[in-house]
Chains A and B, each alone.
Chain A
Amino acid sequence: MTNMIKTESVKHEYTSHTGKSIMALNGIDISIEKGEFVAILGHNGSGKSTLAKHFNALLLPNSGTIMVKNIDTKNEEMLWEIRQIAGMVFQNPDNQIVATIVEEDVAFGPENLAVESKEIRKRVDEALKAVDMYEYRKHGPHLLSGGQKQRIAIAGIIAMKPECIILDEPTAMLDPSGRKEVIDTIMKLNQEEGITIVLITHYMDEAVNADRVYVMEDGMLVMDGTPKDVFSQVEKMKSLGLDVPQVTEICHELRKEGIKLPADILTVEEMVVELCRLK
């Protein structure tokens, strides 16, 4: 397995406009393998967005190093390579679409990379098909739903042929159907195209399908493991201001009452199977 992103004791401090110095990242060591689907959970202000912006050199650490595919993000000469390898999708779908026509927007990234025009056309069509938005290629973005806009933003990144996509709370402003569209798209890209996914979120249900979950608090990684490892620690998750799936919580409550159930139930289906066994 090869490293996609590797950080070593990354610290990031900034001064807020009230003059207070804030330690947004306080010693982050994380290693993300190629092809992995990683979710980073944390409440607002835990430092997860700041961390995400370090992964493609939008921010640089005060100390420590971040390597993206073995390139140090401090290396200014490699800046554009890093951003091409590790693409980024942001929270607000409106504020990352540049052009007035969907396909023109998807072309924006490859145009910046000076890709040849025929090749851009090919990449744009492929990218739009990959996010299932090909039929909307001639539309104006303002007429699309939030979920559709976010898929256009993802297509804009795919057209740059990245190896890793970092999504900074891509679903925070979407309704449930929009959230599902985006998460399904991400999962498909991870499974079918082998693209490494780093999903920053505070919705626990989106992290359930990840290979690995990290939980952040006060600029530090406080939990890490498979979704089952992490969510089964119901009390700890709650103390960090995060949710666990309702069934996991029901399971936790029943275990406290002495019912013999495994601690790591995450889905309704698993719970039904276990309860029927007890009956």
Chain B
Amino acid sequence: MIKDITIGQYIPADTPVHNLDPRSKIIITFVFITALFLVNTFFGYIYILAFMGIALGLSKISPKYLFRGLKPLVFIIVLTAILNIFMTEGEIIYKLWKLTITKEGLIQAAFMCIRLVFLITGASLLTLTTSPIALTDGIEKLLNPFKKIGVPAHELAMMMTIALRFIPTLLEETDKIMKAQMARGADFESGNMIARAKAMVPLLVPLFISAFRRADELAMAMEARCYRGGDKRTRMKQLKFEMRDIYASIITIAFGGLIIWSRF
């Protein structure tokens, strides 16, 4: 299951999409999502599909891989479909006890599901083509203008970086502590909800203690390496807009225009 989650995974490659400035990619994704919610006809989805197709083609990510990312979210998609099918009023096609299926409901369900699929694959495409570090850099830079109104841009980005850095470490640790407690006869799998929640204590307490110890040591190591917040800091890799960012922007603007035009 865990290995199916493609959101947040990064596949390094040398393609025009990978090489775009992360700021461009974040903004483009933002425009894409906005456009997705502006689309009000099935016909409008053709534009979305075309845009997505171009991006996917250029990124050389296999569509199969992209769609595998939907697997863990199938439940949400199915739930959306069911709710729409049964909750929409209109011309009744089929009646089952108190539940009715309407023509409008079916159309609405299909419409919403397509939107969800595009939303998830679009966001996945961003993270698949952008390294976590570039992503956090991009977010930091984009949020920088909002520093004046109190948005802690650097701190947010640093927190994201550290969180990403320690996820694998903590997962490994969870597995180790779980096994150590199982060796002492712990049972994490049987019993009712309360018994299971209680069984988690011997896992969670050591995990929290270890996370705090790590945080403490990391803070000291960062201090020893002269870390003193975001001011005056330089970066090894500086973000730079290039020609390809301009091309991408033009395509995106055209795409946005098309979507708005399609509404009329």
Instruction: Give A contacts to B, CB under 8 Å.
Output: 56, 58, 80, 83-84, 87-88, 90, 92, 94-101, 103-104, 107-117, 120-121, 124, 138, 140-142, 153, 156-157, 160
Q: Does B217 contact A (CB under 8 A)?
A: yes
A96→B232 CA distance, assembly (Å)? 22
CB A69 to nearest CB in B, in angstroms, measures 16
Closest to B164 in A: A100
Residues of A within 8 A of B190 (CB): none
Q: List 15 A-B contacts (CB under 8 A).
A: A58-B224, A83-B226, A94-B169, A95-B218, A96-B221, A103-B236, A112-B225, A112-B227, A112-B233, A114-B232, A114-B233, A117-B234, A140-B168, A142-B165, A142-B168
A98–B226 CB distance below 8 A? no
Determine how close the nearest CB of chain A comes to the CB of B171; give it in whole angstroms.
Answer: 9
Q: Given B164, B165, B214, B234, which contacts A120 in the complex, CB threshold below 8 Å?
A: B234
| Chain B residues closer than 8 Å to A138, beta-carbon distance | 12
The answer to whether A100 touches B236, judged by C-beta atoms less than 8 angstroms apart, is no
Q: Is the CB of A124 within 8 A of B228?
A: no
> Shortest CB–CB separation between residue A86 and chain B, in angstroms?
9
Q: Are B225 and A58 in contact, with the CB atoms below 8 A?
A: no
Interface mask (B5-25 → A, CB under 8 Å = 1, otherwise 0): 000000010000000000000
* Contact A111 B218, beta carbon cutoff 8 Å: no
Contact between B236 and A111 (Cβ–Cβ < 8 Å)?
yes
A83 to B226, CA, bound (A): 6
Q: Which residues of B contact A80 (CB under 8 A)?
A: 226, 228
Closest CB pairs A-B (n = 5): A96-B221, A95-B217, A107-B236, A142-B168, A120-B236
Other A-B pairs beyond A95-B214, A111-B233, 11, CB < 8 Å: A88-B224, A94-B214, A96-B218, A99-B165, A100-B165, A104-B237, A108-B227, A110-B236, A112-B226, A114-B232, A121-B236
Instruction: Determine whether the beta carbon of B161 is less than 8 Å from that of A100.
Output: yes
Using known A-B contacts A90-B217, A107-B236, A121-B236, determine if residue A98 contacts B162 with beta carbons closer than 8 Å: yes
* Chain A, interface SS category: helix
**A115–B238 Cα gap in the complex (Å)?**
13
Interface pair A96/B217, CB less than 8 Å apart? yes
A-chain residues with CB within 8 Å of residue B232 when the two chains form the complex: 114
From 133 to 149 in chain B, residues with beta carbon under 8 angstroms from any chain A beta carbon are 133
Indicate whether B44 reaches chain A with its CB closer than 8 angstroms. no
Q: Which of B168, B169, B225 contacts A109 (CB 8 A)?
A: B225
Report how far A95 CA is from B162 CA in the complex, Å. Answer: 11
Give every chain B residue within 8 A of A87 (Cβ-Cβ): 224-225
Q: B164-181 vs A: 1/0 string, CB under 8 Å? A: 110011001000000000
A104 to B228, CA, bound (A): 17
> What residues on B are CB-neighbors of A141 within 8 Å?
165
A56 touches B224 (CB 8 A): yes
Chain B residues, Cβ within 8 Å of A153: 221
Contact A98 to B161, CB < 8 A, known contacts A104-B133, A121-B236, A156-B225 = yes
* Interface-centre pick from A100, A115, A124 (highest chain B CB count, 10 A): A100
**Distance of B101 from chain A, by nearest CB (Å):** 48
Residue B220 interfacial (CB < 8 Å) = yes
In B181-226, the 8 Å CB interface with A consists of: 213-214, 217-218, 220-226
Distance to closest chain B CB from A145 (angstroms): 14
Contact A99 B218 (CB under 8 A): no
Closest to B165 in A: A100
Complex contacts, B29 vs chain A, CB 8 Å: none
Of the candidates A90, A96, A97, A109, the one whose C-beta lies within 8 Å of that of B226 is A109
Say whether, besides A111-B233, A115-B234, A100 and B222 are in contact (CB < 8 Å).
no
